[in-house]
Amino acid sequence: MEKVDRKLNIFFLPHFSTSHLIPMVDTARLFVAHGGVAATIVTTPHNARLFQDSLDCDSESRGDIKVHTVKMPSAEVGLPQGIENIGQCSTPRLIGQLFKAIALLQKPIEQLIRENRPDCIVSDMFFPWSVEIAREINAPRILFYPSNAFYHSVSHSLNLHAPHDKVQSDTENFLIPYLPDQIEMTRSQLQDHLKTKTLYGQLINMIKDTEASELWHNFY
């Protein structure tokens, strides 16, 4: 009987932001281009439309990249129908509703993963819960964090040493420690979650808690 080589089945879970979504789609293309990989991108209908045409025109990945769409739970959180991407949110309130809707997608996506049991999961930084479902099915989880090395160095230093807590005002300069050059900032330049406790900040902390034990790589 002729042996048929099975392709590795890899699930890609992109965040619902174009700056995260498109790089992850390109990453799926890179995986498929090496051969022996079948990719499934899990997203919502609106987000799928942002890249589906480019996949259809890509002869190299055609057939090896599938898109599985899940329904956005808009009504459950009071989010207007059709808003499924951060780029569509014109107010902080809409962004908050979008994040709540994304959180509600955890269970249906986990069930999809259980049913398909992919060989590997590549998930965005905003899906820290994917660590546990990957462990459940005994598959590696690769953390997708679409930022450059300088950003990560600055962010790590700010979170570890908190130099912004030692200045007296939002306009006073402080030095970011342990960088190879002298880089200064002010509190007014920081993201809100670094200055005060926010739900977004709690999510970022959850993300950082998963980094130490997971396979982490920057694809830039």
124 is catalytic: yes
Rounded to a whole number of angstroms, the distance between the first and last alpha carbons of the chain is: 43
Do the strands 184-185 and 65-69 form a parallel or antiparallel pair, or are they unpaired?
unpaired
Torsional sign, CA 163, 169, 170, 173: negative
Say which of 5, 53, 64, 124 is annotated catalytic.
124
Neighbour-count burial of 15, counting CB atoms closer than 10 A to its CB (0-12 exposed, 13-18 middle, 19+ buried) = buried
152 is catalytic: no
Q: Determine the Cα–Cα distance for residues 129 and 106; give it in Å rounded to an integer.
A: 8
173 Cβ contact partners less than 8 Å away, ≥ 6 residues apart: 167, 184, 185, 186
Say which of 15, 20, 64, 164 is annotated catalytic.
20
86 Cβ contact partners less than 8 Å away, ≥ 6 residues apart: 16, 17, 18, 95, 98
Q: Indicate which residues carry an active-site annotation.
A: 20, 124
